[in-house]
A and B are shown apart, each in its own frame.
Chain A
């Protein structure tokens, strides 16, 4: 057993090679931020892009990779993934009552003041399971970064921008990245809110309360006369810590609804889902809201009732959803892709559908690199191949979204990885283990 672990450790060490300086020479460099270089060199040092250009002098200490015939792209970024769910039955970190014994079922909430389904203080950065095998799978497909969120509750918690390599504490690039909102309570029909309008009103009230809490705290700290000390409220602390709110919206009605709703929250917001964005671009452009577009294009479930007559609208949505990115690009709506459970090996195929529906390839690449970096306010350090940015690269033997293209190397902050040769269709993920989450 110990021998096996030793071997495994060795394998990992071989897989991830690190040198202080690496030069990728004579490659086609798609910088995203600037013009594409047909024969460029990218020099990496200490996890940072030290230089990029056509006549970059290669220092003597650099390890040179002859990259002629290869293409270098910025590492891909998955703009939204969810933490593994703990197995059902395990204690879930939900419920408003920190003082109640953990065994007793949560009491039904009497209103927003009980903060039902609020886990806003949870941080993906703390809950991350660094051995989650999805991380390595995503990396092998060219993803160097992902933004990961806790999944459960109306206020599910705070996300973290990850680098997909290294030790856990090294992986966290930015935290908190935003508050993940779901509109789905975790109590079924047993307590507020049980309706969509209840959930929306609840969220609105919590954001109002958070602003009031902050003002109250400030007034207290300034010793303003007559101001009592505010009670500590971890749900509001969590909301205040989050730089932006992620709101779900897939259909046209939902996109337009959430665009209006986001304005009410008075906090920067990002919509996720986006399926019917092709039909709601005007509202989104007007609201100046970025959209995270799911790469899991809607399709009829394989086990759907064959006799069920689906509405024309739904059939049309399935046909036209992949045209959403093209329409958003044209309307000037900032958007990024997220995989939404699409297997890493199918991501290129999913992106290809958007390209076939009219999205320029450069915009498709941007939606997986610079666009998410911008949306998360990290474009100064990632998202493109530019001097001074993190050395996150994916090196391929052809155009990124072509079916026959293979990933040769992945660099995560200078750490070099190679996908396993001729990666077989990955086995179904092992059942996630609890504990660490």
Chain B
């Protein structure tokens, strides 16, 4: 009996890792100010932080040596970690979902992690007015597809407007293959696609409501056909699924907000939104937030009116602003993107960092879990060798849920061993091939080398 009790005790104690403390750190909490002190992590959460943290005797210790510790970066718009991005054949592709095709082995995830990113919203591409369902992941490199999902994050869907949408089915696409010609090819067509889709969704919603009511009254009937395209749109109508809209021009930003208001839902995040500064008040009034680029423009027609002051202006007009990468390479250095907002528009250090941490967390509806260093939040933390807004800052360590997922020294130190492993595998492969079919010297000699 005692033995069983001991065993039970041992088992119940085993999974809980001892607490972890990062001490001697320059903490940038985003919401609670900056401290020279420590962060205590217990059970994957931040248990305490500041200059008076009581360190339990069994705690593991990381000495930051005066380096900077920030919350993990959150990228609200990217396309890494997935095996497909666009279902471009349809204007309404809401049946598709990134969650079906996550690829946790995609190296983009690790590179993002090495840039201090701990949470990524992986989005459907912008080929379709109504794209697929999105998936929010954490950069838990090494875990499987289930293991990287941000469990409990609100569901999202991707909309897109303007050039990408028109182009996907337009004349140029049709030149490649006639079958590619796809409605819509104009901005007014784009608006029509939304109206039609949500009109259909309303009818679908009504059919199910009638069926449910009949069933409650004991009237048996055949249930309506489940439609995977319309189901997510009904969720949007019922405000159970949030909306992330790719948009550039002011006119189309206003258009999509009007359509949403007409159908009784909200555009939660406008992304790219390069002309957002022109309609910032309208965006704020609608209750949308904005996720923009720092200083890129003129890479296509609809990006000609972009200005680097966009983020600062929208923020000043009361819009919740974040920065996004949309790109696996840029995602590795979102800290410098934040720094640019200080240069253009004079945003404060803390507000600039909030644009890549707390603000995207709010936009994704996960601010109770991530986005700042606060007691009770997930211990998603980045250790930088310099101030993260410096060009020279390098990520040293990244923790997700209190677990160390990236360590610069370990990474660099493991490279010789990896190269050795590669050489061994290559030699084994060569031996296998020679065994299977000994190399024909005569024909090999005849081949150009």
Contact = CB atoms under 8 A, between A and B. Distances in A.
Interface in A256-273: 256-257, 260-261
Contact of A109 (B84, B89, B221, B418): B89
A195 B145 contact: no
A315 B421 CA distance: 10
Contacts of A261: 100
Q: Identify whether the interface residues of B are mostly helix, strand, loop, or mixed.
A: loop
Interface in B212-259: 220-223, 225-229
B87 A197 contact: yes
A316 B101 CA distance: 23
A201 B422 contact: no
Interface stretch (B21-29, B345-353, B426-434): B426-434
Contacts of A188: 177
A2 interface: no
Contact of A198 (B84, B105, B225): B84
Contacts of A257: 100-102, 145
Of A109, A189, A193, A197, the most chain B CB neighbours within 10 A belong to A197
Given A108-B179, A187-B179, A315-B429, A200 B105 contact: no
A92 interface: no
Contact of B90 (A110, A196, A260, A349): A110
A341 B100 CA distance: 30
B186 interface: no
Chain A: interface residue count, which band? Answer: 35 or more
B103 A312 contact: no
B425 A299 contact: no
Contact of A111 (B85, B229, B425): B229
A224 B223 CA distance: 13
A261 B425 CA distance: 33
Contacts of A313: 105
Contacts, number: 142
B97 A201 contact: yes
B88 interface: yes
Of B85, B226, B428, the most chain A CB neighbours within 10 A belong to B226
Contacts of B93: 198
Contacts of B87: 192-195, 197-198, 201
Interface in A83-100: none
B204 to A, nearest CB: 14
A300 interface: yes
Contact of B422 (A107, A200, A315, A349): A315
Contacts of A106: 179
Nearest to A318: B429
Chain B: interface residue count, which band? Answer: 35 or more
Given A189-B176, A257-B100, A215 B105 contact: no
Nearest to A349: B436
Given A257-B101, A299-B433, A205 B228 contact: yes
A82 to B, nearest CB: 23
A283 B143 CA distance: 13
A315 B228 CA distance: 39
B178 interface: yes
A424 interface: no
A191 B89 contact: yes
A8 interface: no
Nearest to B227: A205
Nearest to B226: A208
B179 A105 contact: yes
Contact of A196 (B83, B92, B144, B228): B83
Contacts of A216: 222
B90 A197 contact: no
B98 interface: yes
A106 B225 CA distance: 26
20 contacts: A111-B95, A112-B95, A191-B179, A192-B89, A192-B90, A195-B84, A195-B87, A197-B98, A197-B100, A197-B101, A201-B95, A201-B96, A201-B97, A205-B95, A208-B226, A253-B103, A253-B105, A253-B144, A283-B144, A318-B429
Given A197-B101, A208-B228, A319-B425, 20 more contacts: A108-B182, A111-B90, A111-B229, A112-B228, A190-B89, A191-B89, A192-B87, A194-B88, A195-B85, A198-B89, A200-B100, A204-B95, A252-B144, A253-B104, A257-B101, A260-B145, A283-B144, A315-B422, A315-B425, A318-B429
